[in-house]
Amino acid sequence: MANNIIIFDTTLRDGEQSPGASLDINEKVQIARQLALLQVNVIEAGFPVSSPGDFESVKRIAREVRGVSVAGLARAVEKDIDSAAMALEKAEKPRIHIFLATSEIHRKYKLLKAKEEIIHLAVKAVKYARKYVDDIEFSPEDASRTELDFLVQVVEAVIDAGAKTVNIPDTVGYAVPDHYAALIRGLKEHVKNIHKAIISVHCHNDLGLAVANSLAAVKAGAQQVECTINGIGERAGNAALEEIVMALKTRQDFYHCSTRIVTKELIATSKLVSTLTGLRVQRNKAIVGENAFAHQSGVHQDGVLKERTTYEIIKPEDVGHLKTRLVLGKLSGRHALKERIKELGYELSEEEFERAFKEFKHIADKKKRYLMRILGLLLVSRKWKFLLFSN
């Protein structure tokens, strides 16, 4: 039986940190409701202490959105934890997510604290948060650059203090898949009480490896993945939720994992987030991009028309796309043009089709980009009249 991977969505917290992205309270609530329809397990609704607006948005989401856990972020200080607890007071399933940096570079230059003090502050914060809720997540910030022996000490200590989830962030996108998987395996092997907590991963995309690192961690035993819609987030962004989910679904034979995500809601969720944040999804973006299920090569078009799986590993309908799109251009072949003419309701003789195909190629070859949405072929007094409508 496949293991169920917990999907922790941080679009409303880390995703909103994308330069240029800003959401008001109503927009955040609208996205949270769509995330609930998508059936993510956890919504990280914001960082309550960071601003009055963030506090109110977390509070509203906690009060209005049901069927998911709602998390609020907090530093390992009492005022942050108090603020998160107040904002989450009406949540059906509240979670306080505490973070504290552990890497040598953060200890030396940002925190100016020794290892022993870091452990003391982490344990103190987790115990303090337990006064409010049972569901505590702890993140040793910049874990991927933290010495393994020290990371083991921190993780073991916070689990003893009551953390139910321990997140291992690749905060600056430094990790590569083999390194990150080895880190997860190292924690599973050396943290004595690791069986008492969920191992989570949170990867940034600075080297373009956020999804690959997250999947490598799942293969190594991670049980929760933190991600965002469209991969938005700080700097180069986070692991893209839609890519994580569809990789696990499409390659269940390899990962032996599943999620509860309603994948048919992925396109609707992607479009909503893109519209409200103003962050456009690139055409060739995996799963949700405009070109994700579009084919222009004649060889590919012919293959897809004969058997979809020759060039598509995912059904477009499964993620909310209407259907496969065959883009008519200079690389298109006869099969694709015949299919489009048929869709438009016309029947041509072989001679008529060859004349139409020759003229189509002549016109398409003149343009660098000739993407056809509609090709009208009207026969008037046994002569062809072409009505060509391009993008």
What pLDDT does residue 164 have? 98
What would the mean pLDDT of 338-345 be, rounded to a whole number?
74
Tell me the average pLDDT across 223-236.
97
Instruction: Using CB atoms within 10 Å of the CB of residue 64, give its burial: 0 to 12 exposed, 13 to 18 middle, 19+ buried.
Output: middle
Report which residue type is found at 371: L
Residue 232: pLDDT band (50, 70, 90) is very high
On whether the CB atoms of residues 382 and 359 are closer than 8 A, the answer is no
pLDDT above 90 coverage of the chain, percent: 73
Question: Hey, which bits of 286-345 come out as E strands?
Answer: 294-295, 325-326
Task: State the Cα–Cα distance between residues 285 and 302, nearest whole angstrom.
Answer: 23
Q: Check whether 189 has a pLDDT greater than 70.
A: yes
Residues 150, 104: Cα–Cα separation, whole Å: 10
Identify the residue whose tokens are 């299920």.
Answer: 293
Domains in the chain, please, with CATH? 3-277 (3.20.20.70), 294-390 (no CATH)
Q: Regarding predicted confidence, which is higher, 293 or 180?
A: 180
Q: d(Cα 331, Cα 155) in Å, to the nearest integer?
A: 55
Q: β-strands 94-101, 136-141: how paired?
A: parallel
Q: For the chain, give percent helix, strand, coil, nearest 5.
A: 45, 20, 35
Residue 114 in contact with residue 124, Cβ under 8 Å? no
Measured CA to CA, the distance from residue 6 to residue 22 in angstroms comes to: 27
pLDDT at 290: 87
As a whole number of angstroms, the distance between CA 115 and CA 154 comes to 9
**What is the rounded distance in angstroms from the CA atom of residue 320 to the CA atom of residue 267?**
5
pLDDT over 70 (residue 157): yes
Instruction: Quickly count: other Cβ atoms within 10 Å of residue 358's Cβ.
Output: 9
Of 186, 191, 183, 100, nearest to 139 (Cα)?
100
Of 89-103, 186-200, 277-291, 297-311, minimum mean pLDDT range: 297-311
Cα 272 to Cα 320: distance, rounded to the nearest angstrom: 13
Which stretch of DSSP H or E encloses residue 157? Answer: helix 148-161
Q: What is the pLDDT of residues 72-122, one digit of tens each?
A: 999 999 999 999 999 999 999 999 999 999 999 999 999 999 999 999 999
Q: Rounded to whole angstroms, how far apart are CA atoms 346 and 252? A: 42
Closest CA to 169 of 157, 186, 151: 151
Mean pLDDT of all residues in 225-240: 97
Determine the Cα–Cα distance for residues 227 and 9; give it in Å rounded to an integer. 5
What would the mean pLDDT of 287-313 be, rounded to a whole number? 77
Q: Does the pLDDT value for residue 292 go beyond 90? A: no
Pair type for strands 383-390 and 372-380:
antiparallel
Cα separation, 214 vs 221, whole angstroms: 11
Give the model's confidence band at 1: pLDDT under 50 very low, under 70 low, under 90 confident, else very high: very low
- If one compares 41 and 325, the residue with the highest pLDDT of the two is 41
Least confident of 70-74, 192-196, 230-234, 382-386: 382-386
pLDDT tens per residue across span 4-21? 999 999 999 999 989 888
* Whole-angstrom distance, CA of residue 346 vs CA of residue 383: 14
The four Cα atoms 247, 249, 253, 256 give a dihedral, to 10 degrees, of 100
